[in-house]
Amino acid sequence: MTRLRRSFGAPLAALIVLLTGIWVLGLIAAPQVIMIEQSLWKMDRPAGADELSVQIDRLYNRLDMLALDRAAARTLSTPSATDAKLAQIDAERAAVAAEIADLETRESTPVRTWTLTNYAQMGQAHLRIFAKTILAALAVTAIAFAVCYPIAFAIAKLEPPRRAALIMLALVIPYAINELLRVFAWQMILNYGGPLNAALGLLGIGPVPFLESGSGVFVAMVYAYILFMVFPLYNVLETLDMNQIEAARDLGAKTWQIHRRIVLPHARPGIAVGCIMTFMLSAGSYSVPYIMTRGTAAPWFAQLVYNRFFQASDWNVGAAYAVSLLAVCTGFVFLMMRLLKVRLRDIAK
Q: Looking at residues 14 to 33 of the shown chain, list those that interact with another protein (rule: CB under 8 A).
A: 15-20, 22-24, 27-32
Cα–Cα distance between 118 and 194 in angstroms, integer?
Answer: 42
Long-range pairs for 123-128 at CB < 8 Å and ≥24 separation? 126/304, 126/321
Contact between 238 and another protein per CB under 8 A: no
- In this structure, what DSSP letter does residue 209 have? -
Q: What separation in angstroms does the CA of 309 have from each of 32, 36, 113, 155?
A: 16, 15, 19, 45
CA distances from 40 to 18, 120, 131, 205, 314 (A): 30, 11, 22, 51, 13
Looking only at residues 47 through 106 of this chain, which bind another protein when binding is defined by CB under 8 A? none
Applying CB under 8 A, does 290 fall inside the site for another protein? yes
Residue 65 or 171: the one with the smaller Cβ distance to another protein is 171
Is 309 one of the binding residues for another protein (CB under 8 A)? yes
As measured in angstroms, the least distance from the Cβ of 252 to another protein is: 4
Phi (first) and psi of residue 50, to 5 degrees? -65, -50
Q: Is 241 in the site for another protein (CB under 8 A)?
A: yes
By CB under 8 A, is residue 124 in contact with another protein?
A: no
Type of residue at 138: L
Is residue 183 at the binding interface for another protein, with CB under 8 A as the rule?
A: yes
Is 136 a binder of another protein (CB under 8 A)?
Answer: no
* Nearest to another protein of 20, 108 (CB atom): 20
189 makes contact with another protein (CB under 8 A): yes
Answer yes or no whether residue 262 interacts with another protein by CB under 8 A.
Answer: yes
Q: Does 322 bind another protein (CB under 8 A)?
A: yes
Of the candidates 58, 68, 205, 286, which one interacts with another protein according to CB under 8 A?
286
Nearest CA among 198, 223, 199, 227 for reference residue 292? 223
